[in-house]
Amino acid sequence: MFFAIPSWATSPNILVSIKPLQLIVSSLSEGELNVDYLVSPNVSPHDYALRPSDVRALRQADLVIWVGDELEPFLSKPLSQTSASQLTLLDIPQLELIDGDEGHEHHHGDHHHEVDPHIWLGPNEAKLIAAAITEQLIAKMPEDKAKLEQQLERFNQELAKVVSSINLQLQAVKQQGYFVFHDGYSYFEREFGLNRLGEFTINPQRRPGAKSLLNIRQQLEQGKAKCIFAEPQFDGALLESISQHSGAQISLLDPLGISVSNDKNGYFELLQQLADSYHECLSH
C-alpha cells in the first residue's frame, strides 16, 4: 500500500521524556514533527535530575509524553506545575503490565508501583502507546486527523512485519539462558519467548546484594548461561568481575537506542538492534 508523505497543517511543540518515545512519535509523523526528549540515551532515566533548560522546555511544550513515575520520578512535580497536555503511558488502560520483581502480569486497576516500566520494548505495548499518542496528536491537530490515522495504520503494519521477522530470527536461540544487568526487558522477552535466567539488579540505583550475586555466580559456574548482557548506560565492571572463568560472553543491550537515528524507521531499528544483540550472543 502506498502512503504519501504528509505535510502537517499545524505543528505542536512535543516533548517526550526519553528517546524511544521520540522514535515512536517520529514514526507516526514521518519524522516531520518537532519532538525533543529530556533524558539523553547515554544516561539512565531512573536517576536523572532536571536541568534549568529542561524546566524551560517543559514550560514551552504543548504536549508532554512520559512513561510515568516508576521510570521518571523527577518529572512528577514539574508536570503538576505545567499547563501542557500530558500523556502518562503507564495509565493506558489496556496495558498488561508486568511486575518489576517477579515477571508476573499486572492487570490494570492494580496499583502499579514496582511494575516494569520499560513498556516501549514490547511490540504489543508499542501498538497501544502509538494509538494513545495518535489520539493526543489528533486533539492538538484536528485538521490532520485523517493523515495521523493513516500514519498509525502504517506504523502497525510495519510493526507486524518487524515482529514476524524477529520471531524467525530468534527461533533458534529461545532456549538459551542468559542474565541481564537490570530487569528491563520483560516485555520484549514475553513477546519473543526468551529464556532470561535472572538479573543482577531490579533497580539500577541499587547494587545487587551478596545473596543474588552468589546465586548468579553458581548458575554461571554450572554453565547455564550463554550470555550476560550489560547496558551502555551503566558501568559494566561488576559484570566483568563476576563472569570471569564462567564461559559466558558479555554483550550489550541498549534499551534507549543511543545509536538509532531519529526518523520514521527509528523505532523499528531499536527493536531490531535488540534482536540482533540477543541473536549474536546467544547463537555464539
Question: Tell me, what's the pLDDT at 118?
Answer: 96
What residues are paired with 133 via a beta bridge?
none
The domain boundary residue, chosen from 130, 145, 161: 161
Say whether 156 sits in a helix, a strand or coil.
helix
Of 147, 155, 151, the C-alpha closest to 9 is 147
Decide if 250 contacts 227 (C-beta within 8 A): yes
63 membership: H or E segment, kind and range: strand 63-66
Q: What is the mean pLDDT of each run of 10 residues along the chain (284 residues)?
A: 57 96 96 92 87 94 97 94 95 94 52 80 99 98 96 98 99 95 92 92 68 80 86 73 78 93 96 98 92
DSSP 17-47: EEHHHHHHHHHHTTT-S-EEEEE-TTS-GGG
Indicate whether 4 belongs to any domain. Answer: no
Question: Tell me, what's the pLDDT at 284?
Answer: 80
Decide if 130 contacts 28 (C-beta within 8 A): yes
Inter-helix orientation angle 145-170/19-28, to 10°: 120
Indicate whether 52 belongs to any domain. Answer: yes
Of 151, 143, 149, the C-alpha closest to 3 is 151
What's the distance, CA 185 to chain centroid?
Answer: 8
Range of the domain at 44: 14-91+117-161
Q: Are residues 121 and 180 in the same domain?
A: no
Q: Are residues 67 and 124 in the same domain?
A: yes
Q: Are residues 174 and 248 in the same domain?
A: yes
Q: What is the CATH number of the domain that holds 198?
A: 3.40.50.1980
pLDDT in tens, 81-128: 999 999 999 999 999 999 876 554 555 444 446 899 999 999 999 999
Q: Are residues 31 and 144 in the same domain?
A: yes
Q: Are residues 21 and 153 in the same domain?
A: yes
User: Which sign, positive or negative, has the C-alpha torsion 8, 10, 11, 14?
Assistant: negative
Q: Are residues 121 and 176 in the same domain?
A: no
The CB-side HSE value for 27 (13 A sphere, CA atoms) comes to 28
Residues whose CB falls within 8 Å of the CB of residue 245, separated by 6 or more in sequence, listed in order: none
